[in-house]
Amino acid sequence: MAFDPASLDFVDPGTPSAIRAATILPARRENIELTTADGLTLVGELALPADGVVRATLITLHPLPTHGGFMDSHVYKKASYRLPALAGIAVLRFNTRGTTSPRGTSDGAFDEGHSERLDVAAAVQFAVDRGLPNRWLVGWSFGTELVLKYGALAPVASEVEGAVLLSPPLHRAVDADLALWAALGKPLTVLVPEFDDYLQPAAAVQRFAAVPQAHLVAVDGARHLWVGEKYAARALNELASTVLGTTVVLPVDWQGPVAVLQA
């Protein structure tokens, strides 16, 4: 059975609570389905600020599904747990074709980033149809390849403000894709861990020099998977700062109802 976000049990402890990895803050959460141009149904979740005021929207693209990536990859799950309440940011997460998570399994099969172009377009169109404002693509690892290859092309390019990349490996994305982003001119923030397995900061500076507007952030101590609350929190701060257009340091405590996802 697919996980139902309505099943979360929120309790107000009456005192400020430290925000930990499994802490879930209030939001309007719903299971969603996306329909691709080739007729597939992709499963996902949309988390909106509880007061309905959306300052920005993240359309997230997860790491490689053949290596454990899915919509619940931890940085994205923490984004959905925290950003609606702490920053007024809507978070759209979904499983690309053939990918499984507790939410369910999306139709189709993994296609090495080719047919996934239609998945990206379906997610963006869903956000447009729902009237979600200030839309940004967010890619992590394999998800950055999808952002770079398809985010600067129609129909996606005109419907997003820009993109944020976490740990871009630049395996599938090539110089021609970077050239498209350079020509598009929209903001591109690139978060590169110091100890990334594939592309470390010095090499990233050289590769992304092809995109004049790219803003590269080297994150000391971080690794490709952003393991550790320190690094996940840093990623969320950078995400919020980019899409809101101002420096954001998210609170580490919360006064009010919280839920905890049970193992």
Residue 10 lies in a domain: no
Predicted confidence at residue 93, as pLDDT, reads: 98
Helices 142-150 and 175-184 pack at an angle, to 10 degrees, of 60
pTM score > 0.85 for this model? yes
Residue 238 lies in a domain: yes
Bridge partners of 30, per DSSP, are 46
- pLDDT given for residue 49 in this prediction: 98
- Contact at 8 Å (CB) between 24 and 258? yes
Determine, yes or no, domain membership for 57: yes
Is the residue at 120 inside a domain?
Answer: yes
Q: What phi and psi, each to the nearest 5 degrees, are found at residue 60?
A: -95, 140
Q: Is residue 116 one of the residues assigned to a domain?
A: yes
Q: How many domains does the chain have?
A: 1
CATH code of the domain in which 106 resides: 3.40.50.1820
Q: According to the model, what pLDDT value does residue 150 have?
A: 98
Residues 6+ apart with CB under 8 A from 215: 187, 188, 189, 190, 242
93 occurs within a structural domain: yes
What pLDDT is recorded for position 260?
85
Structure tokens at 177: 């894709």
DSSP state of 226: -
Range of the domain at 88: 26-260
**Does residue 240 lie within any of the structural domains?**
yes
Confirm if 155 and 127 have CB atoms less than 8 A apart.
no
Mean pLDDT by 10 residues, the chain (263 residues): 82 94 96 98 98 98 98 98 98 98 97 98 98 98 98 98 98 97 98 98 98 98 97 98 98 95 66
**18: in domain:** no
pLDDT at 174: 96
Q: 41-48 and 104-105 as β-strands: parallel, antiparallel, unpaired?
A: unpaired
Question: In the prediction, which pLDDT does 3 show?
Answer: 78
pLDDT of residue 262: 66
